[in-house]
Amino acid sequence: MGAIVTVLLLGDSQGLGLRAPLSRLLAARGYELDQRSWTESGASLGAIASHVPSGGEWDLAIVVSGGGNENAGADPAAYRQKLDDLAQQLRARASRVVFVGPLRATDPRVSGLHDAARAIQREGIRGAQWVDGYALSSWVSPTEAGVHYSANSMSVIARELDRAIFASGMATAIGLVGTLAFVGAVGVIAIEAWLGAATPSD
């Protein structure tokens, strides 16, 4: 039997919602979630960085930081530095680092915070792959205070994230990893139909 491949998951409340469905999908690929993985409601990027476990290495480190818990637009340079610093901290101990951007929010105040964080993140994070959370959540809508998603919706988002991380399908390669301009839900559905792939449903 081969060596266990481990994944570190760090994040805020959206990371907390993704933990269970994403763990199941990763397990199907032979990955095991590090039990020291950490997510917490209200966690800022600084809090996330401070909870990187000491010791150990990972095959994959995933950071879910939506930006709703901090005002990234108040000091974009400082926020960018925090992103890059965390990416470098993880790159020293992980074979691959993935940052998941903000998910869509319908609450105007939170949406503004997410927009500001996303604008900075989408410029690129040194040493990391960035996945556009707006694209991941284009299939579903938040149900809790215009910010958080149901368990079923989180399962859909986790499935799209799994596909983005492992680059399965042209829709993922074009629309979900932030390497090209955001492809809206209609565009992604059109590509999926063209490829003959099944589209997710809530």
How many domains is the chain partitioned into structurally? 1
The parent domain of residue 133 ranges over 5-195
Q: What CA–CA distance (Å, rounded) separates 31 from 182?
A: 29
79-135 tens-digit pLDDT = 999 999 999 999 999 999 999 999 999 999 999 999 999 999 999 999 999 999 999
Say if 181 falls within a structural domain. yes
Q: What CA–CA distance (Å, rounded) separates 35 from 102?
A: 24
Structure tokens at 193: 């139909």
10-45 tens-digit pLDDT = 999 999 999 999 999 999 999 999 999 999 999 999
Query: What's residue 66's pLDDT?
Result: 84
Query: What's residue 144's pLDDT?
Result: 78
Say if 10 falls within a structural domain. yes
Say if 29 falls within a structural domain. yes
The CATH number assigned to the domain holding 43 equals 3.40.50.1110
The answer, yes or no, to whether residue 196 has pLDDT greater than 80, is no
Q: Residue 167's pLDDT band (boundaries 50, 70, 90)?
A: confident
Structure tokens at 192: 């999926």
In the chain, the amino acid numbered 163 is: R
Q: Residue 77's pLDDT band (boundaries 50, 70, 90)?
A: very high
pTM > 0.75: yes
Query: What's residue 168's pLDDT?
Result: 66
The residues that bridge with 8 in the sheet, in sequence order, are 61
Say if 162 falls within a structural domain. yes
Q: Residue 3's pLDDT band (boundaries 50, 70, 90)?
A: low
Say if 200 falls within a structural domain. no
The answer, yes or no, to whether residue 1 has pLDDT greater than 80, is no
Say if 201 falls within a structural domain. no
Say if 202 falls within a structural domain. no
